[in-house]
Amino acid sequence: MTPPIERRATRSHRLGVSHAAFLRDYWQKHPLLVRGAFPGFTSPISPDELAGLSCEEGALARLIVHQARGDRWQVRTGPFPEDVFTTLPERDWTLLVQDVDKWDPDVAALLEHFAFLPRWRIDDIMVSFAAPEGSVGAHVDQYDVFLIQGLGQRRWKIDAGTNPPQDFREGVELKLLQQFTPTHDWVLEPGDVLYLPPGVPHHGVALDACLTLSVGMRAPSHSELLSDLADALTERLPETRRYADPDLVPAASDGRIDADTLRRLRGALESLAQIDDAALAEWFGGFITRYRSGGEIAAPPRAPSAAQVESRLQHGAGLHLHPLARCAWRGRGANARLHVNGESYEAGRALARHLCTHRSIDAGFWATLDSADRARVHTLVKRGILALSKSA
């Protein structure tokens, strides 16, 4: 049976059901509207702060203006000059900024509510501000997303039918749907959450000035996975591994690619795909933790010494992961591999798990680490992946 598409949050279940029930019944299967998921919600970022962020160098921002006459769409990419917002109309435009969680710790704190998902599965929090009637058109995403209404009201329509049409319009810079026939129509208030699995067409229109925070998942395509894995495998292959045909017989005709050639070729390619679990996990840990926008974490010009790190921690400072750091871990027993932004490090299991879960180290946790893990922490400090905060 199809589960209810609308639920109300409870004190114990923010999504209206337990995390286990949500993953069983909705995750990658059915959309879900949750009323009151964040009761009394106050947006962690204001429209003015979002506008200011969109002007910062390195910000991933877009401005989308819809001209109702002629149904024309204009898309501009940031960062923007500060006076751009004085030139916009009173309605029919939207500002979208990706990776706001990398810039704003209050926005990043929302991710704690999605800790029931693997952290490496979460891509970013995109925040959009829309003037009245602002929209990005009817479209479809190929990844899971939780849409948190942060300010004002937004009307959402979705097509939850079976195999909805997903052809795109031509001559439009945005990937807008040619056809969109909604099956559900809701108005979201601050604190409401709409979960959409991949492939569900949807269309949101601001009823007044509003903010929406979109927690999007990372879902690499099969082509991305295969391409990156192939690159990783080829780096390990010696030049001596080549196509071979010791069983060659006189050719029936010049230039023919015959069945024996295809058999040898298939055997060669199948042998390349033989990768054990450890090598596969090592590759995937690097792949999935790379920051997709290409931002790099720079090492500090003068990193504190190991003794200075310990002293600062004992005097109330903390170590925190760089905002751009994506991490994952794997391992059995006491040992683990910690993957951070495409790089791999040896670590104790407790250290790797703690960093991926809490993204920080205080004096209390530092005291539980042995000398090997303390040295590993200092390596991360020298790389700029961990940095000291101010003492309390």
- In this predicted structure, which of 17-21, 31-35, 166-170 has the lowest mean pLDDT? 166-170
pLDDT of 390 above 80: no
Across 315-322, average pLDDT: 95
Across 53-72, average pLDDT: 92
> Strand runs (DSSP E) across 300-355, as ranges?
319-321, 327-330, 335-340, 343-348
Give the tens place of pLDDT for each residue, 344-384. 999 999 999 999 999 999 999 999 999 999 999 999 999 99
pLDDT at residue 221, rounded to an integer: 94
pLDDT at residue 392, rounded to an integer: 47
pLDDT at residue 90, rounded to an integer: 93
Question: What are the residues facing 77 on neighbouring strands?
Answer: 62
Alpha carbons within 13 A on the beta-carbon side of 254: 0
Sign (positive/negative) of CA torsion 45, 47, 52, 54?
positive
Across 238-263, average pLDDT: 85
- In this predicted structure, which of 10-24, 268-282, 376-390 has the lowest mean pLDDT? 268-282
Structure-token match 């990419």, residue found: 77
Q: How many CB atoms lie within 10 A of CB 326?
A: 23
Q: Is the pTM of this model over 0.75?
A: yes
- Determine contact, residues 73/66, Cβ cutoff 8 Å: yes
Give the tens place of pLDDT for each residue, 159-176. 999 999 999 999 888 999
pLDDT of 69 above 70: yes
| Structure token pair of residue 299 | 């090492």
**Measured between alpha carbons, how far is residue 135 from residues 91, 129, 131, 192 in Å?**
10, 10, 9, 18
Of all residues in the chain, the percent with pLDDT exceeding 70 is: 98
Mean pLDDT of the chain: 93
Model confidence at 309, in pLDDT bands (50, 70, 90)? very high
Residue 50 identity:
L
Across 247-256, average pLDDT: 80
Query: Which of 336, 64, 37 is closest to 194 using CA atoms?
Result: 37
Model confidence at 391, in pLDDT bands (50, 70, 90)? low
pLDDT of 234 above 70: yes
User: How are beta strands 319-321 and 327-330 bridged, if at all?
Assistant: unpaired
pLDDT at residue 268, rounded to an integer: 84
| Structure token pair of residue 99 | 């990776």
